[in-house]
Structure 1
C-alpha cells in the first residue's frame, strides 16, 4: 500500500508522455452497460472482497461486467502502461503523476465546488484548474502504529508530547522489553516515504505545503522538516531500530508488531487494520499522534489514499464513472478497511479512537494557489530530492548508522538537512 514517490527520471518520462493523451470517444453520458477493466493494488483481496463488489455492482447495473487486474508493483507497472492508451478503464492515479498532468491522462469527475460538500479530499488532492480527477478509496490520518501492551510493559501510558519524550519512550522499551522499539522497514523503501506525511502535522498548519514551496531554508532548526528528519535520525543513531535495516521485511513486520516483537512503526492509519489482523490480540494495536503539540494540541493531517480515476482513453466512460460512484458511495470499502471515508457524511472510524482520546485535531492541507499545484514536490523532483520517495529517508538512516563518508573532517551525520536544503533553495531562487 505505497503512497508516494517519484524520482526525476520518472517525472521526465511522464512529461514526455504529455502529448499522448486521449480523446473523448465514448463520452461520460452514454449508457451504463458493457465491460470495464479496473486496475487495483489490492492483490491480497482481489479474489475475495473485490469479487463481492463485482457481484453487487453488476446486480445494480444489469448488462455490466467488471474485470479486475491486480498489480503487485502498481506504481512501476502502471507508469509504463501509461505510455499507451491501454491502462484500464478505472485505475488508481499513480503518485508519480503530478497535478499538472492530470488532464492528459484522466477524465474530470466534476468541479471542486460541485463535489466538496459530499466528498473529503477533493479540495486539494488530484485537482487541476478547479476540476477533480480522482475520488479517494479511503482516507488516512498520520501517526505511529504501536503495540500498546509493549509500551505499557515499558511503563509508558500516555502519548509522548515532544520528540525528546518519544525518544525516552523508545529507550525505555529497549531497556525494559525484548521488542525492537521502532521498525523502519528500510529495505522496502516506501514505508520510509510515510514520514513525509507529517508535513502539516508538526506545525498544525493547513498551509504547510504552500509555505514549504516558498521556504528557502526548510531544514532550519524548529521547522517541520528539521523536526521530522531529526527525530528519524536520532532514533536510528541511538540504536532504537532493528539491528540491520537492510534485512527488514514488510510482510513479516505485520506479525512482528502484532506479537510484540516490534513496538512501533511510522505508517498511515491505513495500516491499523492490517496490523490488527496479524496481532495475537487486536486490542493490543493502537495509534499514536506525532509527538508535538503546537497550540497545546496534537495534530494529524487527513489525506486521501489512492484515487479512483477514469482513463481518458476509455471506450466505456459511463460505466467507469458508475463504478467509481458506486465504489465511493456504497461499497463500504473505507470503513471496512478501518479508514476515513471519502463521504463527508461518514464519521471517523473506530480505528482512530486513540487519536480522538488524545484530543487530536484533524486537519486537511489547504488547496494550493492556482498555478502552484504540487509545487513543493516538483521543486524537490527537479532537484532530484523526491521528499515523498523512500530513498530520501533511506539516506538519513544510512547517515545515522555512520554509513556516510566524512568530508574534510566534518561530521556528516546530518547531511540531508544541509545539502537538501541548499538544493531546494537553489531551485526556489532560480
Structure 2
C-alpha cells in the first residue's frame, strides 16, 4: 500500500504493450477454477493474515488454489516483470501506469456506471474510457500520524489550523520533550511521497488535479504545492526533524512513534493501525488533518490505495476476478488495516474517530475530463519532476538542511519553469 512512482516505467510499459495486448485464458465469465498467483507488497503479513484469506477464499471456491508472491520493492520489480506476460494473475496496479496504458495490461472489471454504486474510488482511479480496471484494497484519508501523549506533554491538545501553528507545535515538542518533532523517513524515501496526497485538501477543492494541469505556476505563493512543500521545507530548516535524515529507518520509526521517541509522521490513515500495534497503549496514537482550514473546516482527500487488478494474460481470469471481488467484499482487509472500506456504505473505521470529532470533511478528487485522462502524469513526466517520486522532496529536505546550495525560492522557480514548459509541450 506504499505509493511510489518509478520515472522510467512509461517507456518500459509502452515497449511491453505489443507483448501483452493479446490477452489469454478465459474471459472471466466461467466458473472460477485453476491456480492463481496473487502479487502483494505486504511482506509483513503474507505468511500470517494472508494465509487466513487463502483458507477462506478456497473454502468458497474449492476449485481455485491461491499462491501469494510478496515483493519488497514492489514498484521496481513489477515494472520489470510487466515487460513480459508473467506478472501474476492478480496484482496491484503500479502507480506509474498511466490511464491509457491500462487496457494493454489489465482485464476490464466493468463500467464506471456498473461499479460506482457499489465501490468507492472507481470513478477516477485506475479507470479509462469509462472502464474500471482495478478495485481498491483499502481507502485512505490523509494526514499526520502522531503520538497524542507527546503532543499533550508539549501543551498541544487541539489540531493546528495553519502551517504556522503546526510549526509552532513542533517547536514546542522540541523544547518541552525528548521526542523528534517530525520524522521524514528520508532514507527509505517513499514516505516523502505521502505529502503529495495533500493536494486538494489544502484548498478543499475536488478539482485540484484538473486545475493543476491548467496552471503554469503550481509553486507560486498561495498555491497548494507552495503550501505543502513550504511546510516540509520550513520544518527541516528550523531543525524540527531527525538529526540525520540519511540514517532513517521505516520499520524502526513505527515503533519509535508508538513509544514516543517520534512525535509526528506524514502518512496515510493506513499506517495508524500498524503503529498502534506497536504501542503499549494504542490510544496514544492518533491522526491529525493537514493544518489548513477552508470555511472553518479541515478537509481530507480520501482515495483508494493500491488497486487489485486482473492480468490481461491470465489463463484463469474467472478465478482471478473472483479473488478481486472477494478481497474487496469479504476479506475484511480494509477494516483489519483500520482503513476505509472500498464498499460504499460500510462504516468509517474507529481509527478516524478524532476526524469525526473535529468535523473533518472528506471528499474524493474529481476525475479528469474524457480525453485528458493521465494528463497530470504526462506533464509531470515531461517536466522530469516526479511529483510521486521520493527524489523530488528529498531535494527539498537536502536544501533545507544545507546539503544542497539551493534556496526554497530557487527550487520553486525551477519547478514552475519546468512544469510550465512541460504543460505547453503536452497539450
TM-score, structure 2 length as denominator? 0.98
Determine if the alignment matches structure 1 residue 284 to structure 2 residue 259. Answer: no
User: Structure 2 matches for 1:95-106, cutoff 5 A?
Assistant: 95-106=95-106
In the TM superposition, structure 1's runs of 4+ consecutive aligned residues that sit over 4 Å from their partners are none
Give the match for residue 9 of structure 2: 10
Q: CA deviation at 1:421?
A: 1.0
Deviation at 1:19, TM superposition (A): 2.2
* SS of structure 2 residue aligned to 1:422: helix
Corresponding residue number in structure 2 for 1:394: 394
In structure 2, how many angstroms separate the alpha carbons of the residues matched to 1:364 and 1:213?
Answer: 18
Separation in structure 1 between the aligned mates of residue 220 and residue 18 of structure 2, nearest angstrom: 40
* Aligned twin of 1:418: 413
What is the CA–CA distance in structure 2 between the aligned matches of 1:83 and 1:91, rounded to whole Å? Answer: 15
2:109 touches 2:132 (CA, 8 Å); kept in 1? yes
State yes or no: 1:55 paired with 2:50. Answer: no
- Paired position in structure 2 for 1:234: 234
Q: Is the 8 A contact 2:4 2:75 kept in 1?
A: no
Identify the range of structure 1 (371-380 vs 204-213) with the bigger mean alpha-carbon deviation. Answer: 371-380
Once residues 134 and 152 of structure 1 are traced to their aligned partners in structure 2, the CA distance between those partners, rounded to angstroms, is 41
Shift of 1:6: 2.5
Query: How many Å separate the matches in 1 of 2:128 and 2:354?
Result: 35
The answer as to 2:89 corresponding to 1:89 is: yes
Aligned to 1:322: 322
Which position in structure 2 is the counterpart of 1:409?
none
Aligned partners of 1:399 and 1:415 also within 8 Å: no
Deviation of the 1:380 alpha carbon: 0.9
Gaps (5+ residues) in structure 2?
none
Could you list the runs of 5+ residues in structure 1 that have no partner in the other structure?
A: 407-411
Equivalent residue runs for 1:322-341 within 5 Å: 322-341=322-341
Range 414-423 or range 179-188, more displaced: 414-423
Contact 2:6 2:75 in 1 (8 A): no
Residue 396 of structure 1 contacts residue 414 of structure 1 at CA under 8 Å; is this kept in 2?
Answer: no
1:168-183 equivalences in 2 (<5 Å):
168-183=168-183
| 1:43 paired residue number | 43
Aligned-residue RMSD, C-alpha: 1.0
- Which moved further from structure 2: 127-136 or 376-385? 376-385
Give me the whole-angstrom Cα distance separating, in 1, the residues matched to 2:90 and 2:322. 10
CA distance in 1, matches of 2:100, 2:416: 24
Deviations 1:21-74 (A, max 9, x none): 232432112221111111111111111111111111111112211111111111
- SS of the aligned residue for 1:180 comes to coil
TM-score when normalising by structure 1: 0.97
The answer to whether the Cα contact below 8 Å between 1:400 and 1:414 also exists between their aligned partners in 2 is no
Q: Distance in 2 between matches of 1:149 and 1:377?
A: 40
Quote the offset at 1:395 in angstroms: 0.2
Please give the alpha-carbon distance, in whole angstroms, between the structure 1 residues aligned to 2:399 and 2:283: 36
Q: Count how many residue pairs are aligned between Structure 1 and Structure 2.
A: 424
Specify the alignment match of 2:114 in structure 1. Answer: 114
Residue pair 1:6, 1:381 contacting (<8 A) in 2 also: no
Contact 1:399/1:414 (8 A) holds in 2: no
Helix, strand or coil: the match of 1:15?
Answer: helix
User: 1:151-230 maps to which residues of 2 (within 5 A)?
Assistant: 151-230=151-230
Partner of 2:266: 266
The alpha carbon displacement at 1:315 in A equals: 0.3
Q: Quick one: distance in 2 between partners of 1:375 and 1:56? A: 41
Say which SS state the counterpart of residue 36 (structure 1) adopts: strand
Q: Assess if the C-alpha contact under 8 Å between 1:189 and 1:394 holds in 2.
A: yes
